Amino acid sequence: MADSFKHNNVSKMKRRVKTLIKLLLFTSNLLLLTCFPVHSAEIPASPTVYWAATQDGWELAVHRYKPEPLRENSVPVVMFNGLGANRYNFESDDRHSMARFLAHNGLDVWIGECRGMGLSRRADGKKADYLWSFEDFILTDIPAILEKVKSETKARQLDWVGHSMGGMELYAYLERGDASLIRRGVAVASPVSFRIPNDILASQEKLTFLLKIFNRVPVKQLIKVFLLFNMEFGSTFSIIQYNQDNLDRNFIRHLAPLAVENLPAKLLLQFSNALKDESFAAHAGNYDYSANLSRIQNPILLIAGSLDNLVSPASVLEVYNGVSSPRKKMVVAGRGNGFRRDYGHIDLLMGETALEEIFPLVLDWLVKQ
């Protein structure tokens, strides 16, 4: 009887401790939002568009939100979107836009669109050939975008915020580019490989033979067909991309035609090989991004979604353990860690509670560390 009574007391104590921890974590998130109010600076209704020229004939769109006044001692923030997306990853309405949130809080925000994304275009007016790979972003497009931001702002260093592939680009640039240019980095739902088994991703390997026949996947046209016939995007897409309980479906249906881009088969094959090889390497096979994480020493914040079926927290943890940064932090956004929702892949940026819970984490890292 005494042992049973003791066991019950211990169990109750454990539950109380867990509840207290969750309450403290939730309170800390609210305090972050209180310390960094959403509307502390005025920003334009729409961003100003600049153009960054590449050596191989692309004009890349760079969208700027310049607030008045600028936050003291801040540096420009450059944002890069995920695979098959564009600036609308970060730029929509006040409720769902991390770019506008950061700008409202006094940061000079720039959203870069690499080739094939958004407003970016061929300088000669020709149609895109869709023959580019991840390395075209890292070695050509991103250096041009960063140089454009530097020249316009006269800044010596920049901060970087990337979602999904945009965070993978951060890792790759810190490994192969001018790492001293980046003061701090934030990677949201960004792996460096798909080493962690994922049944949903593994099933996509069966479709790789199609990528060897066609030069691109017409994502924009497919989305329009779905919307034309009032079709849902499908349970598989939903499960992979977001937590349906944390997104406004009407908002997503409105944004989808604007926010997606057609995908080059060459680029998709590179990601498909990452599934098979359990590491992410250059298209030519002459560089392994996964094997060189230890080169990264810049301060970096990693955010994962507890319900992200595309990039699991374990995948992000691999990055956290691999980088050599003296200042690094990883946050798993989910109920178990005091958040109001369990976050999927897209809703880390566009979820109904991202404004209150995710955006302040990014702001805090950029202005306080």
Binned at pLDDT 50, 70 and 90, residue 294 comes out as very high
pLDDT at residue 207, rounded to an integer:
62
Residues whose CB is less than 8 angstroms from the CB of residue 36 and which lie 6 or more positions away in sequence, other chains included: 105, 360, 363, 364, 367
pLDDT tens digits, 340-356 = 999 999 899 999 999 99
Q: Is the pLDDT of residue 1 over 80?
A: no
* Alpha-carbon span 168 to 348, nearest angstrom: 16
* Alpha-carbon span 76 to 70, nearest angstrom: 10
- The mean per-residue pLDDT over the stretch 98-126 comes to 97
pLDDT tens digits, 42-52 = 888 889 999 99
Write out the two tokens for 84: 């098959």
pLDDT at residue 299, rounded to an integer:
98
Structural element, H or E, at residue 368: helix 359-368
Return the SS3 of 285: coil
- The mean per-residue pLDDT over the stretch 107-130 comes to 96
Return the SS3 of 230: coil
* Alpha-carbon span 86 to 164, nearest angstrom: 12
Q: Is the pLDDT of residue 281 over 50?
A: yes
Binned at pLDDT 50, 70 and 90, residue 268 comes out as confident
pLDDT at residue 277, rounded to an integer:
72
Q: Which of 61-65, 100-104, 113-117, 269-273 has the lowest mean pLDDT?
A: 269-273
- The mean per-residue pLDDT over the stretch 250-263 comes to 86
- The mean per-residue pLDDT over the stretch 143-148 comes to 98
Q: Are 108 and 79 in contact (CB under 8 A)?
A: no
* Alpha-carbon span 339 to 130, nearest angstrom: 40
Q: Which domains does the chain have, with CATH numbers?
A: 36-368 (3.40.50.1820)
pLDDT at residue 79, rounded to an integer:
98
Binned at pLDDT 50, 70 and 90, residue 6 comes out as very low
pLDDT at residue 34, rounded to an integer:
36
Binned at pLDDT 50, 70 and 90, residue 252 comes out as confident
Give the chain's mean pLDDT. Answer: 84
Q: Which string of DSSP letters, residue by residue, matches 57-121? A: SEEEEEEEE--BSPPTT---EEEE--TTB-GGGT-S-TTT-HHHHHHHTT--EEEE--TTSTT-E
pLDDT at residue 215, rounded to an integer:
81
Q: Which of 142-146, 244-248, 266-270 has the highest mean pLDDT?
A: 142-146
Binned at pLDDT 50, 70 and 90, residue 39 comes out as very low
Q: Is the pLDDT of residue 19 over 80?
A: no
Q: Is the pLDDT of residue 134 over 70?
A: yes
pLDDT tens digits, 154-203 = 999 999 999 999 999 999 999 999 999 999 999 999 999 775 545 555 55
Binned at pLDDT 50, 70 and 90, residue 222 comes out as confident
Distances (CA, A) of 151 to 20, 109, 220, 270, 317: 49, 15, 34, 33, 35
- The mean per-residue pLDDT over the stretch 117-122 comes to 97
Q: Are 38 and 101 in contact (CB under 8 A)?
A: yes
pLDDT at residue 195, rounded to an integer:
55
CA Rg value for the chain: 21
pLDDT at residue 99, rounded to an integer:
97
Binned at pLDDT 50, 70 and 90, residue 10 comes out as very low
Residues whose CB is less than 8 angstroms from the CB of residue 211 and which lie 6 or more positions away in sequence, other chains included: 217, 265, 268, 269, 272
pLDDT tens digits, 60-90 = 999 999 999 999 999 999 999 999 999 999 9
**Side chain identity at 217, as an amino acid letter?**
V
More confident of the two residues 260 and 117: 117
Write out the two tokens for 321: 């353990």
* Alpha-carbon span 151 to 145, nearest angstrom: 10
Q: Are 37 and 67 in contact (CB under 8 A)?
A: no
- Name the percent of the chain in helix, strand, coil, to the closest 5: 45, 15, 35
Q: Are 327 and 299 in contact (CB under 8 A)?
A: yes
Binned at pLDDT 50, 70 and 90, residue 256 comes out as confident
Count of helix runs (H) and strand runs (E) in the chain: 15, 11
pTM of the model: 0.85
Q: Which string of DSSP letters, residue by residue, matches 132-176? A: --HHHIIIIIHHHHHHHHHHHH--S-EEEEEETHHHHHHHHHHHH
Write out the two tokens for 140: 């050509």
